[in-house]
Chain A
Amino acid sequence: MKLITAVVKPHRLDEIKEALQTFGVQGLTVTEASGYGRQRGHTEVYRGAEYTVDLVPKIRIEVLVEDDDAEQLIDVVVKAARTGKIGDGKVWSVPVETAVRVRTGERGPDAL
């Protein structure tokens, strides 16, 4: 199994959710997050005093998938999240040892 994590712009959430549903993903976890990449946030002006806001709002989407689906799913997420502008985010995957469905105790791929 793989854990796909995407840290992306908040307003892309709906597109990504739809793309994942179309792909057949059953569930996902969304967390509000903040951070910055190479663009280093944005500047705000208050009575002429300029503040660089490093940490900009992001969302973090996590999906557990079977190994075979991982590469294709990454592509789906990237496509849905992309605006082409700076700050679009990152997607990565890591191996997962096991997963358990809390309600039934099912393990591994059955728990997905």
Chain B
Amino acid sequence: MNGADTAFVLISAALVMLMTPGLAFFYGGMVRVKSALNMLMMSLISLAIVSVVWVLYGYSLTFGDDIGGGLLGNLDHIGFKGIGVDTLTGGTEGIPVFAFALFQMMFAILTPALMSGALADRVKFSAWALFITLWVSVVYFPVAHWVWSSDGWLHSLGVIDFAGGTAVHINAGVGALAAVLVVGKRIGFKKDPMRPHSLPLVVLGMALLWFGWFGFNAGSELAADGTAALMAFNTQIATAAAMVGWLAYERIRHGAFTTLGAASGAVAGLVAITPSGANVSPFGAILIGVVAGAVCSWAVSLKYKLGYDDSLDVVGVHLVGGVIGTLLVGLLATDGLGGLEQFGKQAVGAVSVMAYSFVVSWILAKIVDATIGFRASEDDETSGVDMAYHAESAYDYSAVGGSPAGRSSVAAPTETLATATNKKVDA
């Protein structure tokens, strides 16, 4: 076992874990007050559900031996059957499978959570939980197998996707688009102002994402080596360049350098460098970053022109950013890899994931809608999904008397308190 690599991957896994709550804050600050908690919960539930599903069958479907054609893993490792503390990846110098599986689990958690921004404010929480359970099972696990399993078909084809431009960002962006088309627009879309309720929260979330992304990108090398270092370096460079690109576009187009633009630009750069960072020079990373920042900044306005309500621009940032990184690495890759041939392979990777993910995500969203109903009722959406599904509100602004919900009884808390006190006395 390689101890240094193992330590590096375990730390990277912890860094990637932080990205999901980071995403929760990034999205949470962008919604209105009445659905801030729901936005956080849509990410948190992914941490809960996908962790369990990953153990049950997710790891096996993704990294089990191929069942044929490079399409899906087998079920040999259901419940981590046959894997112990001494099971290593890739021979005696590898890392424990548990370290690798923990790291990969964080990717499986983050990817469905990314989609939640598109559906902000208007879906039933139970429906979302069901949708992501189905989605990771039928969309994410197969696609991750295509890209990252040594016998996956895109991997065999030679598509470069170092840390998840296709499997994570294009996949989530397209899945979000399909779900949005099934669920429909928010009440008041294009009519009511839907201003972010807390830009500081957005910046906090962006910061956590950026921090965690070092683990996401560099950790994908699965070894503490020069490639990991280059990847970490390029992650910083592309992100910085994308922030500049987004802000420059905004200043020219809208006359201001906005905070939301700076945070969004950073995320667009992180997305775009994800597939490509290990195969481009730092100069290439600047190029990818600037292009991603400016193009994503333009792309987020498409929803108003085309009329789909991707609330927090999952399509504009993750799909577009993912496509930019996935395609540009085909041209900019170093070590003699870059060129039209590689560009063609990258396009095959991007298009096949888009096609599969769109069709299957659309069908899954339809199934959820037809069974338990995907969309919140009009009343719940108007008054806020926080109260409807979580029986909580994020902030209490009332200066007079109780709370917005008019809670007047304290019976339940008192009772709990009494019980707790008794227990203490008994002990």
Cα-based distance from A44 to B260 in the complex (angstroms): 11
Residue of B nearest to A51 (CB): B193
B296 to chain A, nearest CB (A): 10
- Whether the pair A45, B195 counts as a contact (CB closer than 8 A) is no
The answer to whether A48 touches B254 (Cβ under 8 A) is yes
CA distance A51 to B304 in the complex (A): 14
Contact A47 B264 (CB under 8 A): yes
List the A side residues contacting B142 at CB < 8 Å: none
B347 CB within 8 Å of chain A: no
Give the total of B residues in contact with A, Cβ under 8 Å: 17
Q: Which of B180-217 contact A (CB under 8 A)?
A: 193, 195-196
Closest to A46 in B: B260
Chain B residues in 8 Å Cβ range of A48: 250, 253-254, 297, 300-301
Q: Does B256 contact A (CB under 8 A)?
A: yes
Q: B22 on the interface (CB 8 Å rule)? A: no
- Which one of B193, B255, B260 lies within 8 Å of A47 (CB-CB)? B260
- Residues of B within 8 Å of A44, CB to CB, are 195
Q: Are A47 and B304 in contact (CB under 8 A)?
A: no
Contacts of B256 in A (CB 8 A): 45
Chain B neighbourhood of A45, CB < 8 A: 250, 254-256, 258
| A102 touches B (CB below 8 Å) | no
CA distance A72 to B27 in the complex (A): 53
A56 to B241, CA, bound (A): 36
Interface residues on A, range: 10 to 19
Specify which of B253, B258, B297, B304 is in contact with A46 (CB 8 Å cutoff): B258
Q: Is B5 an interface residue (CB 8 A)?
A: no
Q: Mark A18-33, 1 if CB is under 8 A from B, else 0.
A: 0000000000000000
- Chain B nearest CB, measured from A50 CB (Å): 7
B313 interface residue per 8 A CB criterion: yes
Q: Does residue B261 face the partner (Cβ distance < 8 Å to A)? A: yes
20 contacts between A and B (CB under 8 A): A44-B195, A45-B250, A45-B254, A45-B258, A46-B258, A47-B258, A47-B260, A47-B261, A47-B264, A47-B297, A47-B300, A47-B313, A48-B250, A48-B253, A48-B300, A48-B301, A49-B301, A49-B304, A51-B195, A52-B193
Chain B residues in the interface with A (C-beta under 8 A): 193, 195-196, 250, 253-256, 258, 260-261, 264, 297, 300-301, 304, 313
Q: When A and B form their complex, which 8 residue pairs have the shortest distance between CB atoms, in order from nearest? A: A51-B193, A48-B301, A45-B254, A47-B300, A46-B260, A45-B256, A45-B258, A48-B254
